[in-house]
Structure 1
Amino acid sequence: MTTAVPPTRNIVVERVEKFISDTYFTDVNIKGRIYTHFEPSAVQLQVSERCDRIPYRDALNLKYEACTVGRSFGPSWATYWFKLDIEVPSTMKGKEVHLLWNSNSEALIWRDGVPIQGLTGGTWVDKRIEFKLTNNSSGNEKYHLMVEMACNGMFGVGKDGLINPCDPDKTFALSKCELAVFDNECYQLYTYFTMLYDIAKNFPEGSLRSNQALYVANNMINYCDINARETWAPCIKMAKEFFSQKNGDSQHSVLATGHCHIDVAWLWPYAETKRKAARSFATQILYMDYYPDYQFVQSQAQLYSWTKQLYPELYDKIKQKVKSGQFVTTGGTWVEMDGNLPSGESFIRQFLFGQRFFKQEFGAYCTEFWLPDTFGYSGQLPQVIRHMGIANFITQKLSWNNINKFPHSSFHWEGIDGSRVLCHFPPANTYNSAADVKEVVLSMTNNKDAQRANNSLLVYGHGDGGGGPTIEMLERLTKMPNTDGIPKVTLGSPRDFFERLQVDAHKLNAWVGELYFELHRGTYTSQANCKRGNRKCEFLLHDVEAVSTILDANRVESFKYPNLNEQWELLLLNQFHDVLPGSSIGLVYKDAAEHHKKIESDCIQHLNGSLGLLGSATGTDVLFFNPTGFTVEKVIELPINTIPTPQISSSGKSLALIKVPAYGFTKMSATAMTSSLSSSAVLSTVQLTVKIDESNSDHYQISNSFISLSIKKDGTISSLVDRALNRQVIVPGQFGNRFVLYDDIPLFWDAWDVEIYSQEKSKLAGPATSSRVLESGPLRVIVEFEHANFAHQSTLKQRVIMYANTSRVDFETNIEWHEAHKMLKVEFPTTLRATTASYDIQFGHVQRPTHFNTSWDVAKFEVCGHKWADLSEYDFGLALLNDCKYGYSVHSGVMKLSLLRAPKAPDADADMGSHQFTYSLYVHKGNLQQGDVVAQGYQVNCNLYSQLVDADYQILPTLISVAGSNSAVLETIKRAEDNNGYIVRVYESFGGHTNFHFVSDLSIKNIQEVNGLEEPITPTTQIKLNTKVGLTPFQLKSFRIQL
């Protein structure tokens, strides 16, 4: 039968839609015939008592009772286990039989103690409620299954909305538990109908293929009688004839790879993620048996590690499928971390721990970096990626930009050092593709570089909360490998895709510098205590490794090098791109706080224990250790008061100005100080003092040899002058250190976003209500300010500190924060004029505009920086430093540091409570390179460690330091992963070419350059202590040192 498509096209389109609808006319349409012969009575159901997340073996010992459909279970995050005793009715003999289960929650089917398939209840598009019992029932066969029901949905338990705070009392109803006959022929016909509908609906109206698809679908409906099976095969034949029409040679190619994006925490805690991984992996392994060509890609070593620990039988299946090539490892990192906030060394360790795991468990490193979802991309990532043995990168998030559209889909990304990675943004603009015709075609039409490289990657499968591809997705993809009008589709892996893309890589353009994400700028600031914990733990782990390596190299008696893998893995876990940025529920931050607390406690214990081996509790002298690559001169409180010093602190401790060499020691006694580089006195012989004038009723005047500061008694700065240049830093008539509260109501993503319009509505926070001088020199001056009426429900206490030996002023701040939808910034209007400001990032810095000339400039109204931001003219500048903040804004001479936010979703209590942080102003001559800004950033963040020693204690020889260059920074000293020597990492910090050489007091046999995986770089070059080693701008190099 043939008919013409009538002119009322929209009516025919809707006719097809209703024929495949799961809502309308299901009694007479094709969708309503996929399942028949429903048998609830075939399943005898028992349910356990409420329990926590427990192993299968423990679930066997729970108390069970009879249960019926319709019962509700809760509250949120509870677990129930069900026993299902199934007997397939004889009426289903010869049929494909499925179990249908909908608990409106997540669940996992177990058989004989092994997880078999995950289930997702509810009515969303991610619903997965079917489990195939048998392809061909023999009738009356019996099955015993268990179902582990989690009282949460795919996206947690938000109250009346996806990202709303958790509803602790949510319940989930078991609405379906029954057997049904699955009609595969009907399902095939249904799938063809949906694909024809997609073409008719989504191709340009009036186009040939759209009209043809609608014509065929209409004819199929006319011919099809849902009650007459003999009419189905001719309809399927019509569809196959349509889909068998081939493309030409020039048609775009799409490689489709199955994926399950699992946020290791987000709207659910870590504990639930472990079960999400099991549900997702079990399902996909089952599907691999159904579809031999199906390849599923999964990143994040942490997920594999959890599965290995908690689900060993499932993990064995994963290893088998990895070996067969169907389960594809990717990414190379421990988790999909945030691309802005972790330190450079944390980036390295993400790959080191991830790649090492994949190599040990599966025999090979990952060949591509997989980070589809993140909230920014540091300009140093390309070098880190290459340093870790990876050359390819897949991401997607920039498609969310809300101001400018990123101009490329396939391109070379060039980092700040010049390193390049081959990069692809899947043009379907999702890492959770439904694998329908619309998104396959979008992979072609939205590919901005198709004229250069006619290939795209399609990443399909339900994600964020896990799940992965469905049978429906796989059926669609296998039906359109080469259909006229649709890109050519093949199933494969990311490696397969990059092998295709590499052929045309020479034609592609390059993007230089950071990939700035024009959204989620609030993640530089949200959940401030988590960010503080991360920064502190990064430095503590660094310090433990530094002191441990030095003691190990010096063969200190009784010293044993600590195993820090557990601590590093916890830190890396909490750098996940929904945790460290601050966009998870409150439960996640309770976990993160405990993790950071453990890391901090363990590190302090290691530090005290290690340094304790060098000294004595009854020692008369003090040994200081400097864990940084810079000589540090610092005013500190001594652990004993028996050494005469110029000043006693407000807490009753002796103050001294100490100078300690890089990665070295200084010993202080009542008569002399010695260091690990020299036996001469290291305390400056120049008489350095700082003093305060309290005579003015309006302000305090504090000055040292370098700067003069006028700070009003309301806590604001009216003047900051470089004394040598007589240069005023603060705009006359305006005030620095002013706290400003901005209205902070984004368009949707509360914890994620701050919007540019927030700058249009602000007010000053309450001024200081009292002040007092705590210390008045000569080494340190401290003035304390209290803001009793700081904001609506918040108070602030701040100590402003100036030292005798530096032009840096520290602002140690404590705040009790209880606001709603406010963002707190501290601001400094400066007299400096520069078109760019510089911001500290991993192993270097980037420059960003201080104006709004273009839309690309406007988009950067809030940016990410680490330890400092600097605004410099050619001969003078000001740096704004911090010890745990990341959000900056520098425009028109005004420097702003974002301190706190108060979002209410997904954590209603985000940032409420106590906060401690320090920010600093550092006035310097010359630009940031000449002004010692990089070193100051480390000083604000690093501690000098002290240990009492006996008077005759001899300082340990220096293991390693660098010399001959002002810009070469020795960042890391650690033991090699294989225990064969030590690893040191050096980077160029100024953005120029330089040469350095290593210095050591020990006998070094060999220095060899290695990559981040600690493998030799070929060709091997012999390096000695006096060998000049070259660095290009912002280049990072790692070396193995053997004694």
Structure 2
Amino acid sequence: MKFEELTIHVIPHSHLDLSWGGGYWLCTLASMDVMLRLLNCLKSDPEYKYTIEHVYAMREFAAHARRSEVNELIEAIRDGRVDVSGLYHGTEENLPGPENLARQFLLGKGWLKRRFGIDTKIAWSMDTPGHTLQMPQLLRKSGIELYVISCGCAGPRLFRWTSPDGSEVLTYTIGAYNLSRFLGLRSSIDEMKKKITWYLEWIGDLINVKALILDDGGDWSRPCLETLNNIRRWNEAGNKPTLKISTTTEFYEAIKGEAGRSPLLKGEMPTTWVYTPTHYPNVAVWNRRAEYSLRAAEVMETLRMILYGDGLYPKSELTRCWEQICRVMEHNWGGRDGDVVGMEREHACRVAYHVGRDILRSAIEHIASLIEPNGEGLAIHVFNPTGSLGYGYAEENIDARMYGGEFKGHVYLTDSDGNPVPIDLIERIENEDGSLRGFKIGFVAKEIPPYGFRTYYVRDSDVEVDVPSALEAFENGIENEYYRVKVDGCRVSEILDKIHGRNLVGDGFFELTAFSDRSIDLKDNIGEVLGVEEEGKFRIKRGKAKAKIIIESSILNSHVRKEITLYEGLRIIDLSLALDWRGPRYCQLRVNLPFKFDGKYVYEVPFGRIILPDKIDYWAPYGVPLRYDAEQMERFRWPNIESLKGLREVQNWIMMEEDEYRILLCTDSPTYDFRGHLQHVPLRTVYSCGDPLLFYNRRGSYKWSYRIITGVNINPELEGILFMTPLETVFSWRRDLCRARRMTPKLPHEYSFIRIDDENIVITALKRAEDDGGIILRAYNASNKERTVNIKVKVPFRRVYEANLLEEPIEEISAGRDEVRLKFKKWEIKTLRIII
């Protein structure tokens, strides 16, 4: 294509990071200054145009600016002089969980449309280091038609990016941002003549459309009329190509006719900032915990609201929490005042987690007050706020005074069918005078109905009731029906899958190694070994429901505590790693996980899964052609390219597939290295590229959790959700506080509120609609096949609509009284709006 035939659309913007340049409030003030200067430019020159990168900036401006200033900006948007991207902010897309990512559109474009009636069709994602697999589907289901990015694609400038379900979004990659500064648009015509020609020649093989974007803006850069004046001078002098100041929508209108000729690309764009979570390890873990806490709270509180018929729902509390944990997933971690921002992020996630727990506990206690037990003894109701049959280890305090008579001395437990259940007597609770007050017991709960509960019964006896258990402990290990775990001098020597007769692990499994790491936070540069885990001591604790090996050791003067746990009757192995870090700077810590298998890795991403590729042909940071050859590595000087071969951010699980056999590793932390044997990278103590004096010393206490499941038929999505969403128990409740305002139904001692007849359909949300008009249910098909399923909600429907991610109804769906039949394309995400 001849350069003279091109039109370059210069789009002014400002990259308004939520932090990075300083703390949140400092960056909010900088953003406010940008917006006020934008209003001045719009007043000064009627031809000036602008694109606001994300809705968060609009929300902050609307909250803090004068009403007249907000009205001026909204008028400019409606007049087509200013565009707003539909995203909440520049999300690091591979990090948030599925609902965290989906809510970005509700908090972004959804807020903009509800508040001001503005229906934006474009989205920008500047400086975000990768883009997740299902982003095209999420964008399309939010009404976004053009996605503008700066990182990730080394292919042509314009392409159609597609999700596994077939959704396409037209995508344009700038290849970087702040181009106008480098090409002289705010300097002089002479500089522009030299640099624009050089730039077009440099990217010439990537130009596949007659219109290009040249962005005019950097970090908190102020809107400037000099760019527009230089564009006028350029065009008046007859220079080519033609430059035009534009909005993103104007650019889209200019190129959408060529969309059909653009190539179709598919797959994820792996993040090159894969180490980001290692700088704030607690933030990454607590953000994930908070999401699943809020999801469970929304489900059970929605069910409580329906049962009680009172219309009460803590929408403002939940919305504030979602706003906070979504904000935490912004792409900037570190920078100036990064230590303060990191603490604020961790605090926000912890608060959201506990608010979710509070709402969840209230909901299940209210629901429990409606249950009519039909067994002898005191009832323990075990709740499962997930969409599959639940299981897990539950603990509960038993108040002996509630027996109503003399306590006989021995307590035992039965399930809802009257079968004895093994228990651990964790604690004997006594009054001050030594008399018995109660017990704390632990037990394994199984087959808890999805989005429902099952009741167990505590009974007492004159004699001890001996309930057999398959758990065994020996000198250097533990075992149950499914696994045997052995240690040798504090080293894990064997994890035997007894059913399939294979040792799962190699040498050094679950051991820590510390490496020298002299790079900045974004780079991959492992040096020599600084330290290995020192020999420590181990002990074994065995109960009838749970047995564990506890290993205590140290590395680099830091105390390490590891636990490996087996349960009676459960085919899972739980592992935990607690670290009191006191190590040095310039260090990278790794957990070795050498599983013995000969096959392929599969890992979870939001609403999807990835088979780890041997190579990546067209994704790269900042538009760098990715061929893995020395010449191009030298040309572009991007040391992180090599790391794309094996470093990834994962969601709840990694699965190792060997023929029909599966090893599933569930995890609550995202950064893994697949090069060689599997390694978890939980922590780094390097410095920030945004502040060379900010070291991530990260001294303090941390805890990471894992779970191993093996077998042939494993549903990794459901197992990952169960791993992140523990069972909840209710023994006694405040009947005086859980009184229904209307006639409420009585519930049996075992019940499921929602049933899906296909376990490949995964529910991620059940909540009240933002406008209070019905219930929102979101689910996706976690398989490569089309599926037709029945979703049964034991609530009478009036109408059911398919909705978009903004919760707006699209079309009505034929439904029964309490059941709806849906057809899902492979990997399709569906949102329903249910009117009850």
TM-score by length of 2: 0.84
Structure 1 pair 271–910 and aligned structure 2 pair: CA distance change class (3 A): farther
1:711 alignment partner AA: V
Q: What's the counterpart of residue 629 of structure 1?
A: 387
Residue 1000 of structure 1 deviates from its aligned partner by: 2.6
Q: What's the counterpart of residue 751 of structure 1?
A: 521
Residue 869 of structure 1 deviates from its aligned partner by: 0.9
Query: Matches of residues 461-500 of structure 1 in structure 2 within 5 Å?
Result: 461=217, 463-464=218-219, 466-481=220-235, 486-500=240-254
Residue 315 of structure 1 deviates from its aligned partner by: 2.2
Q: What's the counterpart of residue 501 of structure 2?
A: 726
Structure 1 pair 870–442 and aligned structure 2 pair: CA distance change class (3 A): farther
Which one has a bigger Cα radius of gyration?
A: 1
Q: What's the counterpart of residue 634 of structure 2?
A: none
Unpaired segments ≥5 residues, structure 2: 186-191, 371-376, 401-410, 414-421, 429-439, 461-466, 618-626, 629-640, 736-744
Is residue 414 of structure 1 aligned with residue 162 of structure 2?
yes
Structure 1 pair 768–664 and aligned structure 2 pair: CA distance change class (3 A): farther
Structure 1 pair 486–671 and aligned structure 2 pair: CA distance change class (3 A): farther
Residue 735 of structure 1 deviates from its aligned partner by: 3.1
Q: Deviations over 1:617-642 (max 9, x none)?
A: 9x942222211111111122123276
Structure 1 pair 249–804 and aligned structure 2 pair: CA distance change class (3 A): closer
- Structure 1 contact 259–469 (Cα < 8 Å) conserved: yes
Residue 666 of structure 1 deviates from its aligned partner by: 1.8
In structure 2, C-alpha distance between the alignment counterparts of 1:640 and 1:543, rounded to whole Å? 25
Structure 1 pair 308–710 and aligned structure 2 pair: CA distance change class (3 A): same
1:665 alignment partner AA: F
- Structure 2 contact 426–441 (Cα < 8 Å) conserved: no
In structure 1, C-alpha distance between the alignment counterparts of 2:399 and 2:708, rounded to whole Å? 31
- Structure 1 contact 554–956 (Cα < 8 Å) conserved: no
Which 10-residue stretch deviates more, 296-305 or 558-567? Answer: 558-567
- Structure 1 contact 744–822 (Cα < 8 Å) conserved: yes
Query: Matches of residues 594-633 of structure 1 in structure 2 within 5 Å?
Result: 594-615=347-368, 620-633=378-391
Q: What's the counterpart of residue 566 of structure 2?
A: 802
From 719, 729, 733, give the equivalent of 1:946.
729
Residue 591 of structure 1 deviates from its aligned partner by: 1.9
From 104, 109, 116, give the equivalent of 1:362.
116
Which 10-residue stretch deviates more, 561-570 or 543-552? Answer: 561-570
Residue 531 of structure 1 deviates from its aligned partner by: 1.0
Unpaired segments ≥5 residues, structure 1: 1-246, 400-405, 673-685, 695-699
In structure 1, C-alpha distance between the alignment counterparts of 2:26 and 2:613, rounded to whole Å? 43
Is residue 314 of structure 1 aligned with residue 69 of structure 2?
yes
Residue 998 of structure 1 deviates from its aligned partner by: 0.8
1:736 alignment partner AA: F
Q: What's the counterpart of residue 43 of structure 2?
A: 289
Q: What's the counterpart of residue 1021 of structure 1?
A: 813
Structure 1 pair 1000–280 and aligned structure 2 pair: CA distance change class (3 A): closer
Q: What's the counterpart of residue 925 of structure 1?
A: 711
Q: Deviations over 1:2-25 (max 9, x none)?
A: xxxxxxxxxxxxxxxxxxxxxxxx
Residue 354 of structure 1 deviates from its aligned partner by: 0.9
In structure 1, C-alpha distance between the alignment counterparts of 2:754 and 2:258, rounded to whole Å? 44
In structure 1, C-alpha distance between the alignment counterparts of 2:311 and 2:109, rounded to whole Å? 33
Is residue 1010 of structure 1 aligned with residue 768 of structure 2?
no
Query: Matches of residues 777-856 of structure 1 in structure 2 within 5 Å?
Result: 777-787=543-553, 789-791=554-556, 793-819=557-583, 820-834=585-599, 836-849=600-613, 855=628
Q: Deviations over 1:232-291 (max 9, x none)?
A: xxxxxxxxxxxxxxx999521111111011111113001112211121111121122222
Structure 1 pair 852–325 and aligned structure 2 pair: CA distance change class (3 A): closer
Structure 1 pair 802–454 and aligned structure 2 pair: CA distance change class (3 A): same
Q: What's the counterpart of residue 861 of structure 1?
A: 646
Query: Matches of residues 216-365 of structure 1 in structure 2 within 5 Å?
Result: 251-312=5-66, 313-329=68-84, 331-365=85-119
1:1032 alignment partner AA: K
Q: What's the counterpart of residue 674 of structure 2?
A: 890
Q: What's the counterpart of residue 693 of structure 1?
A: 474
In structure 2, C-alpha distance between the alignment counterparts of 1:578 and 1:338, rounded to whole Å? 8
1:777 alignment partner AA: G
Structure 1 pair 915–552 and aligned structure 2 pair: CA distance change class (3 A): same
Which 10-residue stretch deviates more, 552-561 or 601-610? Answer: 552-561
- Structure 2 contact 790–820 (Cα < 8 Å) conserved: yes
Structure 1 pair 909–355 and aligned structure 2 pair: CA distance change class (3 A): same
Q: What's the counterpart of residue 90 of structure 1?
A: none
2:171 alignment partner AA: C
From 604, 626, 638, give the equivalent of 2:396.
638
In structure 1, C-alpha distance between the alignment counterparts of 2:529 and 2:615, rounded to whole Å? 20
Query: Matches of residues 515-594 of structure 1 in structure 2 within 5 Å?
Result: 515-517=269-271, 519-555=272-308, 559-563=312-316, 564-579=318-333, 585-594=338-347
Residue 862 of structure 1 deviates from its aligned partner by: 1.0
In structure 1, C-alpha distance between the alignment counterparts of 2:148 and 2:181, rounded to whole Å? 15
1:742 alignment partner AA: F
- Structure 1 contact 957–1001 (Cα < 8 Å) conserved: no
Secondary structure at 1:741 match in 2: strand
- Structure 1 contact 396–430 (Cα < 8 Å) conserved: no
From 175, 194, 211, give the equivalent of 1:455.
211
Residue 419 of structure 1 deviates from its aligned partner by: 1.7
1:781 alignment partner AA: A
Structure 1 pair 299–910 and aligned structure 2 pair: CA distance change class (3 A): farther
Structure 1 pair 583–523 and aligned structure 2 pair: CA distance change class (3 A): farther
Structure 1 pair 431–607 and aligned structure 2 pair: CA distance change class (3 A): farther
Secondary structure at 1:267 match in 2: coil
Residue 942 of structure 1 deviates from its aligned partner by: 0.8
Residue 443 of structure 1 deviates from its aligned partner by: 6.0
Residue 345 of structure 1 deviates from its aligned partner by: 0.8
Q: What's the counterpart of residue 737 of structure 1?
A: 510
Structure 1 pair 946–848 and aligned structure 2 pair: CA distance change class (3 A): same
Q: More strand by proportion, 1 or 2?
A: 2
Structure 1 pair 1029–621 and aligned structure 2 pair: CA distance change class (3 A): same
2:445 alignment partner AA: I
**How many residues were matched structurally?**
748
Structure 1 pair 841–388 and aligned structure 2 pair: CA distance change class (3 A): same
Is residue 655 of structure 1 aligned with residue 419 of structure 2?
no
Q: Provide the aligned C-alpha RMSD in A.
A: 3.0
Which 10-residue stretch deviates more, 1006-1015 or 267-276? Answer: 1006-1015
TM-score by length of 1: 0.68
In structure 2, C-alpha distance between the alignment counterparts of 1:1002 and 1:1021, rounded to whole Å? 16
Structure 1 pair 881–582 and aligned structure 2 pair: CA distance change class (3 A): farther
Residue 594 of structure 1 deviates from its aligned partner by: 2.9
1:917 alignment partner AA: W
- Structure 2 contact 388–759 (Cα < 8 Å) conserved: no
- Structure 1 contact 578–584 (Cα < 8 Å) conserved: no
In structure 1, C-alpha distance between the alignment counterparts of 2:453 and 2:611, rounded to whole Å? 35
In structure 2, C-alpha distance between the alignment counterparts of 1:249 and 1:275, rounded to whole Å? 41
Q: What's the counterpart of residue 405 of structure 2?
A: none
Q: What's the counterpart of residue 238 of structure 1?
A: none
Q: What's the counterpart of residue 425 of structure 1?
A: 173
Residue 974 of structure 1 deviates from its aligned partner by: 0.6
In structure 2, C-alpha distance between the alignment counterparts of 1:274 and 1:479, rounded to whole Å? 35
Q: What's the counterpart of residue 698 of structure 2?
A: 911
Q: What's the counterpart of residue 539 of structure 2?
A: 772
Query: Matches of residues 134-145 of structure 1 in structure 2 within 5 Å?
Result: none
Residue 478 of structure 1 deviates from its aligned partner by: 2.1
Q: Deviations over 1:819-869 (max 9, x none)?
A: 2122212112232112x3111111121111368997388632211101111
2:216 alignment partner AA: Y
Residue 459 of structure 1 deviates from its aligned partner by: 1.2
- Structure 1 contact 849–857 (Cα < 8 Å) conserved: no
In structure 1, C-alpha distance between the alignment counterparts of 2:569 and 2:336, rounded to whole Å? 41
In structure 2, C-alpha distance between the alignment counterparts of 1:550 and 1:829, rounded to whole Å? 43
